[in-house]
Amino acid sequence: MPNCELQHHQVVVIGAGPSGAIAAALLKRRGHDVLIIERQRFPRFSIGESLLSHCIDFVEEAGMLEALEAAGFQYKDGAAFAWGDEYSAFDFGETFSQGRRSTFQVQRARFDKLLADQAEAQGVEIRYEHEIISADMSAAQPRLRARRPDASEYEVQADFVLDASGYGRVLPRLLDLEAPSNFPVRQAVFTHIEDRIDLPHFDRNKILITTHPEHRDIWFWTIPFSDGRASLGVVAAAERFAAAPTDLDACLQHFVAQTPSLAKVLANAVWDTPARTIGGYSANVKTLHGNGFALLGNAAEFLDPVFSSGVTIAMRSASMAAALLDRQLRGEAVDWQLEFAAPLKRGVATFRAYVEGWYDGSFQDVIYHPGSSPQIRAMISSILAGYAWDERNPFVAEPRRRLATLAALCARGQA
């Protein structure tokens, strides 16, 4: 790298989203010098708006729970699923893991800024609209080159770098760490609406996941907010959009019109925000860590939005990495593969099994099966609440085998 201004910080975190803010705050609370470099200016739009209960564990750990509870976000106590006349609701107060009984549904622009502001209030420096343009991880201390809004550049030398850049995937791109995902290419089209839902049976305290009546690999999210608005999106394999209108607003309304149960819920909605789209979002990497760095959350791997696992994985990785890095900075020998990558991937693999089961129909058979035992529902509810690392739960310890067995029983009406 050519010579330019060189700065020194103990830890640099790339990205001020949920995993970056949580990791930075946890490290600052342990007495470390932390700098966050964020490419965008907050608040900024993002999806991933329905938090799982396990997220709140990490918000509390980072000293941000009081501010979150005071922010007026929509209370959430579970997840509801609808397919034609079938309806199934899971309550986070009835989980095998006995975790938190509730969480929130959040506008991410406000939520992410709240967490970032809380990290700043604890003494973390955040540089907004600064972009990492190169990274040299070959020396004992990594060096990052950053560009300011005025286009001037500087270098930062650190003891360690945490990449919490989300979909930006800064270090995977710069260090050639990206690997293909084995998930099919899917696309999401989404918007915010004034929902005007007045159905007496509609539960605003739950995310509603609706399965298309004919194509079970097409599904919708409806996430109510506390201000009478909602996030609405449709997800399908890329080829499913070939017969839909190319205009994104018309495309989303086209799929809703094909789904009578959801069309009824949204009968009075005001479609006042232009729709957006994202596609090919599933991602993977060759490694979660290396010399002087670790990857957090979506910077490392993103599965699918169906069970809202992205923010949970991000926050869990932030908590794990912060604890491990604290020990390393204090002189302890740590094993990033054994103590970070391997245990994090176990929970990700659990989510992966149920995401794959959703799309092949086996998990939908379980979700929509009438009369499942309360014990089984509690075990499934734990996973839907985010407790995918609780290996006391048989459906976490052996997700694929247990799901296959349960799906077969549901098909025979024996679950």
Write the CA distances from 288 to 36, 133, 260, 345, integer angstroms: 19, 20, 43, 9
In this structure, are residues 367 and 88 in contact, taking their beta carbons and an 8 Å threshold? yes
Write the CA distances from 58 to 130, 218, 400, integer angstroms: 26, 32, 27
Burial of 154 (0-12, 13-18, 19+ CB in 10 A): middle
In this structure, are residues 374 and 91 in contact, taking their beta carbons and an 8 Å threshold? no
Q: How many angstroms separate the CA atoms of 307 and 219, rounded?
A: 11
Burial of 214 (0-12, 13-18, 19+ CB in 10 A): exposed
Q: How many angstroms separate the CA atoms of 246 and 392, rounded?
A: 47
User: DSSP readout, 245-291?
Assistant: -SSHHHHHHHHHHT-HHHHHHTTT-B--S--EEEES--BEES-SEET
Bridge pairing between strands 186-194 and 276-279: antiparallel
Q: To which H or E segment does residue 137 belong?
A: none
Residue ranges with strand state E in 139-228: 143-147, 153-163, 178-179, 186-194, 206-211, 219-224
Q: Tell me the pLDDT of the chain (415 aa) as tens digits.
A: 456 899 999 999 999 999 999 999 999 999 999 999 999 999 999 989 999 999 999 999 999 999 999 999 999 999 999 999 999 999 999 999 999 999 999 999 999 999 999 999 999 999 999 999 999 999 999 999 999 999 999 999 999 999 999 888 999 999 999 887 777 888 999 999 999 999 999 999 999 999 999 999 999 999 999 999 999 999 999 899 999 999 999 999 999 999 999 999 999 999 999 999 988 766 788 999 999 999 998 866 777 888 889 999 999 999 999 999 999 999 999 999 999 999 999 999 999 999 999 999 999 999 999 878 999 999 999 999 999 999 999 999 999 999 999 999 888 666 6
Q: Minimal CA–CA distance to 13: which of 135, 142, 126?
A: 126
Q: Minimal CA–CA distance to 104: which of 275, 302, 311, 304?
A: 311
Question: In the prediction, which pLDDT does 410 show?
Answer: 87
In this structure, are residues 192 and 273 in contact, taking their beta carbons and an 8 Å threshold? yes
Write the CA distances from 313 to 46, 259, 285, 302, 388, integer angstroms: 16, 31, 15, 9, 9
Q: What residues does each domain of the chain span?
A: 6-46+104-180+282-346, 186-279
C-alpha 304: how far from its chain's center?
9
What is the dihedral sign for C-alpha 58, 62, 65, 67?
Answer: negative
Cis status, amide bond into 43, omega within 30 of 0: yes
pTM for the model stands at: 0.95
Burial of 50 (0-12, 13-18, 19+ CB in 10 A): buried
Structure tokens at 184: 């099919």
* Assigned superfamily of 6-46+104-180+282-346: FAD/NAD(P)-binding domain (3.50.50.60)
Q: Which CATH number fits domain 186-279: 3.30.43.10, 1.10.1740.110, 3.40.50.1000, 3.30.9.100?
A: 3.30.9.100
Query: Under DSSP, is residue 7 helix (H, G, I), strand (E, B) or coil?
Result: strand
Residue ranges with strand state E in 15-95: 34-38, 74-76, 78-83, 86-91
Q: How many angstroms separate the CA atoms of 5 and 273, rounded?
A: 44
Phi, psi (rounded to 5 degrees) for 357:
-65, -30
Q: Minimal CA–CA distance to 235: which of 254, 220, 253, 257?
A: 220
Q: CA angle, 234 as apex, 231 and 236 as ends, to 5°?
A: 155
